[in-house]
Amino acid sequence: MQEESQRQLHTLEKIVAGVALLAVLLLTVGFAHAQTHRVFLRSNAVLVEDVHSGKTILAKNSDEVMPIASITKLMSAMVLLDSGVDMNERVVVSRQDIDHLKGTHSRLRPGTVLTRSQLLLLALMASENRAAFALARTYPGGTTAFVAAMNAKAHALGMDDTHYAGPTGLNPKNVSSPRDLARLVKAATQYPLIREYTTRERARVEARGRMLSYHNTNRLIRNRHWDIDLSKTGYISEAGRCLVMQVKVESRELIMVLLDSWGRYSRFGDANRIRKWLERSSVLADSRG
């Protein structure tokens, strides 16, 4: 009889502990979602997360699965670097690298010869699709093996909402959620070359005897008010305007995910509104505990 009472008491204690944990989680999520009413945002899905604690600071449709456009290229970069291929090896851009899905323009004409490192720089900094196609095509096993490695990497990172159908993001079947993309950003930040290339302001490469100039697709990189450790933009019509970053605000390292924003500059406007709101509010101090 006494053993049965003890078992019942133990079960009751576990239930109480579980309810308490659920209440804390609901309060945290509820707080983060409540903050979106204090910040006017044009992005349809948003997540701001503390890098070290993992706490959600701001959330809006943060579990919604949607196309992610060129945010894809962060995963492509990790897969390429994980493979150990020679980054100084010269790669010839081919007609196979031309975008026949969306018809995007590229100044890298077939026959252009660049190193893998140069191609990765252009793919990350300037979101050059033909460069990303060339890197996937020349990966050991080709593009099919490359995309399989992307999906395997996503699975290993616990990105259960994520699926890749191509290396560039032009395919709208490349989908993820803001929470998964926060995991992606956190993982990509562990690669010094990805951090360097995604935050470089501009670059010049020689292609078929001509010097080509490129600039970073994230206009905030050139803004002295921002301290950005990693950045990637994306756009296709199905995904809207997208932006992910790891940044420092008020001495805190944060991940920002902004997806499906309307208007050419609205994702940057949202990022600025979020930063200013964080700077003038006590939300970061309140989230430390």
Q: Which residues are catalytic?
A: 70, 73, 127
CA distance 254 to 256: 6
CA distance 221 to 242: 15
- The amino acid at residue 164 is Y
> Residue 38 carries which DSSP code?
G
Q: Which residues pair with residue 141 across a beta bridge?
A: none
CB 235 within 8 A of CB 218: no
CA distance 116 to 140: 13
Q: Which residues pair with residue 245 across a beta bridge?
A: 231, 256
Please state whether beta strands 66-67 and 90-92 pair in parallel, antiparallel, or not at all (unpaired). Answer: unpaired
- Using alpha carbons, list the distances in angstroms from residue 123 to 71, 95, 120, 246: 11, 17, 5, 18
- The amino acid at residue 26 is L
Measured between its terminal Cα atoms, the distance across the chain in Å is 43
CB 6 within 8 A of CB 31: no
Classified as helix, coil or strand, 289 is coil
Both tokens of 166, joined, read 């191509």
| Nearby residues of 65 by Cβ (< 8 Å), 6 or more positions away | 161, 175, 176, 177
